[in-house]
Amino acid sequence: MEPFHGIFPYLVSPLDASGRVREHTLRRLVEHLINAGVHGLSPLGSTGEFPYLTRRQREEIVRITVEAARGRVPVVPGVAAYATHDAIEQGRRMVELGAQGIVVILQTYFALSRTAIVEFFSGVARELPCPLVVYSNPKLLGAELTPDLIVALSELPTVRYF
């Protein structure tokens, strides 16, 4: 696989009033973005309302996005978790659905030590066979990835993007 490059927009997650994924709308969005020249797609990012969706909704969004992209651009969904095992489980499922990489989002409830943050990302990196994008938004998620942490995480073989 070629390295990721260029623009990977976060997709909105279109739902109807009953919480079902609006498949036609999502497919049209994917087609529009690919036709506009994006280099990849990232469902379930910050604008994808990931913390408010069920596991089933998340999987459906990734399945539809992968199908609609038809291999024309890589699909790199967000995986958000408080626990390493949950992030790994979600990541494996996204790869099964056809994702070519994962945006790894560490959610926190309590402040975490540097060691705990590195262990979270290291654990995910060891278990997922695809390129990882480390995501940081300290005001939203609670864990700040300082430059020294980013350097440490960059040593992990599958962590390739920030």
CA nearest to 6, candidates 41, 45, 47: 41
State what percent of residues in the chain have pLDDT above 90. 81
- The answer to whether position 113 is within a domain reads yes
- The answer to whether position 11 is within a domain reads no
CATH number at residue 45: 3.20.20.70
H or E element that contains 84: helix 84-96
- The answer to whether position 38 is within a domain reads yes
- The answer to whether position 5 is within a domain reads no
Residue 33: is its pLDDT beyond 80? Answer: yes
- The answer to whether position 69 is within a domain reads yes
Could you read off the pLDDT of 98-146 as tens digits, one per residue? 999 999 999 888 889 999 999 999 999 999 999 999 998 877 767 788 8
Under 8 Å between Cβ of 161 and 154: no
- The answer to whether position 12 is within a domain reads no
Domain count, the chain: 1
Which residues span the domain enclosing 109? 23-161
- The answer to whether position 9 is within a domain reads no
